Structure 1
Amino acid sequence: MKNLSAPALYSILALFLGMSFTGCQNEDDPDQFTGSIEEIEEFLTPELTQIVTELGMEINTGNTPPNIEGNYLAEVVLMGSNISTDVIGHRFSDMVIKFENQNNEDLSITFSYKQSIESGLGIGALIAGSQDSFSAFLKVDVTHGADYPTAKSAMVISGTKTADGIKDYQWALFMLDNKGDSRYILNNTGRVFRELDNIARVTTQSIPSGRLAPETESPLKSAIER
């Protein structure tokens, strides 16, 4: 048998280690969110994903979403609902949303929002998309004043990132657990909203503590109220 030189041994060893490392990475790939519809359904459940899309929500897939970090002001109008008393086209209270800590390696992001006296903090969030289009998939703890329990909801926010904000802004909110409080919408019900002028604009306003009241004669309420 021919003896190998030291450089040759080092080359073979480096190749072996590289193959081993690649193999380890591949073993981890199934646990890595890649923005596929199958993984989105796993996060939201297939049933909720179907309801959301049937109500008109756009869901973007892919693992190269744009950076959406920042604050945005959205004037929301109801475009779909499975709540029998809802009126399509009803104007709800404006909302400020905040995205931060976006990580396109694992497609994670953090989220919070304020609407009327209601506020929400993300307890799990993923982002998918490609080019300038994205969808964020959120599990959120929601509170509506000191005498309300903290409810759990699922949300989806979709749109196209532009210099001015989020164009074609859509927002879906569905109740996962209302803690038995009848002032909240029922479990497994929810709403899908569009933006009044089709863009949630970048704002310097932080998550506010007071009510956002657009000029309208229509009664306003938050999305999670019955």
Structure 2
Amino acid sequence: MKSQPISAAYPILALVFGILFSSCQKDEEPNQFTGSQEEIEEFLTPELTEIMTDLGLEINTGNTPPNIEGNYLAEAVLMSSSVAGDVPGKRFLDAVMKFENQNNKDLSVTFSYAQTIESGTGIGALIAGSQDSFSAILKVEGTHGTGSATAQLVMVISGKMTSEGIRDFQWALFMLDNKGDSQYIANNTGRVFKELDNIAEKTTLSIPSGRLAPGLESSRKSAIGR
């Protein structure tokens, strides 16, 4: 899929990202979120939801999501992007996604992820879906490399749960505040990834293993790195 620039949406993005955290706070109250399209749009803002879906992200709704607890290895391939210089189809660093403490009464879940030179922790995480399909809607603090400021971003992870892992895996992220650190992608830009073989397999790893040929790892970007 070709990268779809969102420069036309920039006039509204400052407002979108500026109010994101305040609009999220209401929906983090226990038993308020029911996984509806309207509530997801309120959590993300309708404008950001539209931008993500325009870039190819599928967002699942519903209040009976499958249990997604566990670790999953994602071999990330760029599907679409609004980041300058990005090329769809490029491999990025593998990532291990970890979900735990899922609560289907209030549709909450705990999230973290790790790449070779990057990691992040959820500071607000909701889950929607039905049957085997789900979307995790996440506010995340991420760190790239050493000595970097902690960036704030929003992520959505979607797919279908199987015994092997997350099929039809998609991972969208958008930068809210990079704290002026040049190692990160620019504010109000984002990427959508898919999985190399369409399934993020279950794993016992907490960080990706070095499965790449020598020298290849250094040629790949991390998710929120420039």
Bin for the TM-score computed over the shorter chain: 0.7 to 0.9
Q: TM-score, normalised by structure 1?
A: 0.83
Q: 37-46 vs 148-157, which deviates more?
A: 37-46
Q: Which residue of 1 aligns with 2:139?
A: 139
Q: Which residue of 1 aligns with 2:149?
A: 149
> Residues 86, 35 of structure 1: CA spacing in aligned structure 2 closer, same or farther, 3 A cutoff?
same
Instruction: Give the Cα separation in 2 of the matches to 1:54 and 1:133.
Output: 20
Superposed CA RMSD = 1.9
Q: Deviations over 1:78-110 (max 9, x none)?
A: 001011310010000000010000000000000
Secondary structure, aligned partner of 1:186: coil
Q: TM-score, normalised by structure 2?
A: 0.83
Secondary structure, aligned partner of 1:35: coil
Q: Which residue of 1 aligns with 2:188?
A: 188
Instruction: Give the Cα separation in 2 of the matches to 1:118 and 1:187.
Output: 17
AA of the residue aligned to 2:38: E
Cα drift, residue 146 of structure 1: 2.5
AA of the residue aligned to 1:118: E
Residues 115 and 212 in structure 1, CA contact (< 8 A), matched pair in contact too: no
Cα drift, residue 214 of structure 1: 3.0
Instruction: Give the Cα separation in 2 of the matches to 1:214 and 1:221.
Output: 14
> Residues 39, 173 of structure 1: CA spacing in aligned structure 2 closer, same or farther, 3 A cutoff?
same
AA of the residue aligned to 1:181: D
The answer for unaligned runs of 5 or more in structure 1 is 1-28
Residues 156 and 171 in structure 1, CA contact (< 8 A), matched pair in contact too: yes
Instruction: Give the Cα separation in 2 of the matches to 1:160 and 1:96.
Output: 17
Q: Which residue of 2 aligns with 1:5?
A: none
Aligned pairs for 1:1-226 (under 5 A) are 32-205=32-205, 207-208=206-207, 212=210, 214-215=212-213, 217=216, 219-226=219-226
Secondary structure, aligned partner of 1:53: helix
Q: Which residue of 2 aligns with 1:21?
A: none
Cα drift, residue 183 of structure 1: 1.5
Instruction: Give the Cα separation in 2 of the matches to 1:30 and 1:94.
Output: 34
The answer for unaligned runs of 5 or more in structure 2 is 1-28
Aligned length: 196
Instruction: Give the Cα separation in 1 of the matches to 2:210 and 2:48.
Output: 29
Identity rate of aligned residues, in percent? Answer: 70
